[in-house]
A and B are shown apart, each in its own frame.
Chain A
Amino acid sequence: MSLNRRSLLKASGIGASTLAMPYFFHRSAAAAEPLRVGVLFSLTGGLSIIEKSLSDATMMAITEINASGGVMGRPIEAVLEDGASDPKTYNEKASKLVIGDKIVTVFGSYTSASRKAVLPVFEKHDAMYFYPTYYEGFECSRNVVYTGAVPNQQLSNFIPWIVKTLGKKKFFIVGSNYIYPREMAKVCKILMKQNGATYVADEYLELGDSEWGSMVNKIKNSGCDAVLSNVVGDSVVAFYREYKNQGLTHETLPICATVTSEIEIAAMGPEYAVGSYTSFPYFMAIDTPRNKAFVQRYRSFVKDPKAVTHHALESSYFQVFLWKQAVEKAGKATADAVREGVRGQEFDSPGGHVTVDPNNLHTYLTPRIAQWQADGQGKIVNAYPHPIEPLPYVAYGETDSNLFCTRNGLDVAKLRKS
């Protein structure tokens, strides 16, 4: 009984039982054995500012799938756990889900640190982890399906576009001090060189630090003509505010960001970001009926008429569907079945068509560049005509004709040559 009640509550995300009703009816009607999946995000601690929304999006997808008949006629039962913004807790909860609850598929996490902390659990016990966040690449696990962007999907059109369209030649690279921004900076530098641009500085601020006085002053005095920001998390808000407070404007010296999303823009107030750019595969402003409906459904799901959607959130949503299709294709939900089934799986997500790369289990996404507007939405100023291939090792010379990460795993020989 406790299990039923529990999953009921979980499927409703924040405990709204009305939303869980269809699932409940379905379950009693079909009386089929539910398929259990894990949902592992930080519901407490500093990272919950973002991860709560990812958790909600995952729950929404599960609720929708259940409402439309489940997976192979079986309802999904989500076991929700709290990573508490702490890799130790992540590791413990991952073991709980995979070993304790014998769950094969888990959707979860935002930071690389937490993914790295749960990885050994999934690899040693052969379970599948669906990871919805853009990350630095350099990973080739047969137990992870990566549905967020890798550096080439955010940068390969971004840097050339800034140089050619905006005519900017001298960059100030700034980021939070950890692996993702440093790796992004590395790829940026390669692309800048290829496009005949230079960078005047490559500076970092402690993750979570929001004191930007000195940094923005440096930017001001650096003589750069564009700022490339890989700043992550709550620091973003303080950064843009300080930027304007020190009298810098995006018209003359735009911030071109890789991580600033609708969440941060809403928090800082659009007036601080108007005119700046972000490169992401998904924006809330994507003008398709599918996306508009998605935003509406999300808002009513979380009961917040002003809630925003963003890239990692959209990936959290569509990756559940990719998993569903994989299970249905394989006819069962074991790790092997999911892994093989998900290869090449396609889905029309709110942001457009996505495909899981059959080789490296990363996802084909469409790079887009948006300029932030006064209403807090990004106006898409540039987009790839089609989804592009994910290259997790692009910084080491990986190209679409020479993949480092294939279904046989990482080809170290190629990496060595780089």
Chain B
Amino acid sequence: MFDVIFIGLSLGSILLLVALGLAITYGAMGVINMAHGEMVMVGAYTTVMGGLWLHIGFLASLPLAFVITGLLGWAIERIVVRRLYGRLLDTLLATWGVAILLQQAVRLEFGLSFFGIHIRGLGPGLQNVKVPAWMTGVVSIGGDQVNIYRLFIILVTAALTFVTWLLMFRSDIGIQVRAITRNPRMAAACGIDVQRINALTFAYGSGLAGVAGVMMSGFKTVFPDMGSAMVVDGFMVVVVGGVGSLLGSVLSAGLLGQVNGGVAAVTNDILARAVVFGLVILIIIIKPTGLFSFKGR
């Protein structure tokens, strides 16, 4: 029983890890960032490249990935997203294009493969990420074996959620972000530098995806297309939780994770996934605004 709940918790934390950044870019900014999965991918590649070229360890990749994907997010906001505020579905389409572009950039080694140059750690193939030995295996807690890596993910997710909550609800920047969410024009009129705050928010959301990417790289497979499935799951979590509600995202990730884990334990993984999709549809139909919601822009 404990093991099933723990796996459910772990599944939920993985969903939340990806959804957290989306909850910010979509929830607070009204941008459906289809390239979010590719941010995760870039985060994972940061671990690969960091290990190969800088010889930094797995844990040291966490801040590095945050910075790199944050900068990338900042650039994407400046170049693409900035022109699309208020056009929700257009942001979906444009970032879809960005996603393809990022995948191809990694696959073609930023175009260098045309010149016959191969960079170790890039290219179309699978990549290897070294995980510290102490993070593999199990630890015994109260007679139950607990998967250390998954425990670590749960802790990191919890910490990131807490930091995000602090930022959004207990900091000046958070107040500004929430003001922009509710009414960007009014916020601008109140002297908030909307452009700057938007860029920072988007960068932060992308940075979270980068951290998620490092975590994923340690126990999933690193390759250029790895992110495309994740963004869909993350997006569902955010919508089910209620757009713009951090608590909603946490709860919906937890719920979907437990349902997935529970059904998988009783029947099989395929049915579990089908049930999760069905549940998403059901929740939106019954409560179209999500589990928690308020009106945003």
A residues with a Cβ closer than 8 A to B are 12, 14-16, 43-46, 48-49, 52-53, 177, 203-206, 208-211, 213-215, 217-218, 221, 234-238, 241-242, 244-247, 263-264, 266-269, 271-272, 302-304, 306
Contact = CB atoms under 8 A, between A and B. Distances in A.
The 9 closest A-B CB pairs, nearest first, are A267-B126, A214-B264, A247-B138, A234-B221, A16-B116, A237-B221, A213-B7, A48-B124, A52-B124
Interface stretch (B59-67, B222-230, B285-293): B222-230
A267 B149 contact: no
Given A209-B273, A218-B265, A266-B126, A242 B115 contact: no
Consensus secondary structure, chain B interface: mixed
B114 interface: yes
Contact of B149 (A203, A205, A237, A245): A245
Nearest to B100: A44
Contact of B222 (A205, A213, A267, A303): A267
Contacts of A267: 125-128, 221-222
A303 B113 CA distance: 10
A14 B126 CA distance: 18
B183 interface: no
Nearest to B148: A245
B124 A206 contact: no
B126 A264 contact: yes
Given A242-B147, A303-B117, 13 more contacts: A49-B125, A52-B123, A204-B268, A213-B11, A213-B147, A214-B260, A234-B221, A234-B226, A238-B219, A244-B137, A245-B138, A266-B126, A269-B130
A263 B126 contact: yes
B126 A246 contact: no
B268 A302 contact: no
B153 to A, nearest CB: 11
A269 B128 contact: yes
Contacts of B147: 213, 242, 245-247
B255 interface: no
Nearest to A9: B114
Given A16-B116, A217-B4, A241 B219 contact: yes
A15 B114 contact: yes
Contacts of A203: 268-269
25 contacts: A12-B116, A14-B118, A45-B225, A48-B107, A49-B126, A203-B268, A206-B269, A206-B270, A209-B273, A214-B7, A215-B269, A218-B265, A234-B221, A234-B223, A238-B221, A241-B219, A241-B220, A245-B137, A245-B219, A246-B138, A246-B145, A247-B138, A267-B127, A268-B128, A303-B117
Nearest to A304: B118
A16 B104 CA distance: 20
Nearest to A213: B7
A208 B273 CA distance: 13
- Interface size class on chain B is 35 or more
Contacts of B223: 46, 49, 234
Nearest to B129: A269
A303 B260 CA distance: 43
Contacts of A16: 116
A209 B148 CA distance: 21
B125 A15 contact: no
Interface in B127-156: 127-131, 136-138, 145, 147-150
A345 to B, nearest CB: 31
Interface string B180-221: 000000000000000000000000000000000000001111
B128 A46 contact: no
A247 B218 CA distance: 16
A246 B125 CA distance: 26
Given A14-B116, A204-B268, A44 B126 contact: no
A213 B10 contact: yes
A140 to B, nearest CB: 30
Given A44-B107, A211-B269, A247-B138, A303 B124 contact: no
B261 interface: yes
Contacts of B222: 267
A237 B219 CA distance: 8
Interface in B228-264: 229, 260-261, 264
Contacts of B129: 269
B45 to A, nearest CB: 13
B219 A242 contact: yes
A209 B295 CA distance: 35
